[in-house]
């Protein structure tokens, strides 16, 4: 009995060791990549907006990307104030997200549903893009916020992660709202879940 317990313990150590080694390699790889990103952005003149160390912020961002969260980068250049630059970067990230989401929906909608003619599909997609941009807000999780000042102008980079589940719920709301605005909800209510995957 004692030999069996010892064998089980040895086997568990052998199985767990490569996993730990892999985790250590992954941690080192993320740290190296984050360090390179910090070095590049600092070389370009960017600094953390809240004076925190950028290295751990980029590490958290990169871990999020590795664990399946969608990355979006908001960019604002040559703005006359800090607050306007931050607002513009967030709006740009929301617009980018909405464009990507509507492209995904467009390909699904046009390939899987023959009951939607192209004109109606275009109207739905245009309105969905507007609604997706409006609906995605709390789903944008700020990881890194950097700013560079040149004379009286500001450049901002904001690195966001989007949680898939929260984004899916926002996309469902956006599509439902788009169909309501176009007065098409009763016609296409049942296929929303097919379009938003």
Name residue, tokens 């997706």. Answer: 132
pLDDT of residue 18: 37
pLDDT of residue 85: 96
Closest CA to 49 of 4, 100, 89: 89
pLDDT of residue 113: 54
**Cβ-Cβ contacts under 8 Å for 41 (sequence gap 6 or more):** 54, 146, 157
pLDDT of residue 192: 85
Say how far apart CA 191 and CA 187 lie, in whole Å: 9
Domain ranges, ordered by start, for the chain? 2-195
The series of mean pLDDT values per 10 residues for the chain, 197 residues long, is 42 38 80 95 94 93 90 95 95 89 82 72 88 81 94 95 84 90 87 81
pLDDT of residue 153: 96
pLDDT of residue 48: 95
pLDDT of residue 112: 65
DSSP-assigned letter for residue 189: G
């Amino acid at each position: 009995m004692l030999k069996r317990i010892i064998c089980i313990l040895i086997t568990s150590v052998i199985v767990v060791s490569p996993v730990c080694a892999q985790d250590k390699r992954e941690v080192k790889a993320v740290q190296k990549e984050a360090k390179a990103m910090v070095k590049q952005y600092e070389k370009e003149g960017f600094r953390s907006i809240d004076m925190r160390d950028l290295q751990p912020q980029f590490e958290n961002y990169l871990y999020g990307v590795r664990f399946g969260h969608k990355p979006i980068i908001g960019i604002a250049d040559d703005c006359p104030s800090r607050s306007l630059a931050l607002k513009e970067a967030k709006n740009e990230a929301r617009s980018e997200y909405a464009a990507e989401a509507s492209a995904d929906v467009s390909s699904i909608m046009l390939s899987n549903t023959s009951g939607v003619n192209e004109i109606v599909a275009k109207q739905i997609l245009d309105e969905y893009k507007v609604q997706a941009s409006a609906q995605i807000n709390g789903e944008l999780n700020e990881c890194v916020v950097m700013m560079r000042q040149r004379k009286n102008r500001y450049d901002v980079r904001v690195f966001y992660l989007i949680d898939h589940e929260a984004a899916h719920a926002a996309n469902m709301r956006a599509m439902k709202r788009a169909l309501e605005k176009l007065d098409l909800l009763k016609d296409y209510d049942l296929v929303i879940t097919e379009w938003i995957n």
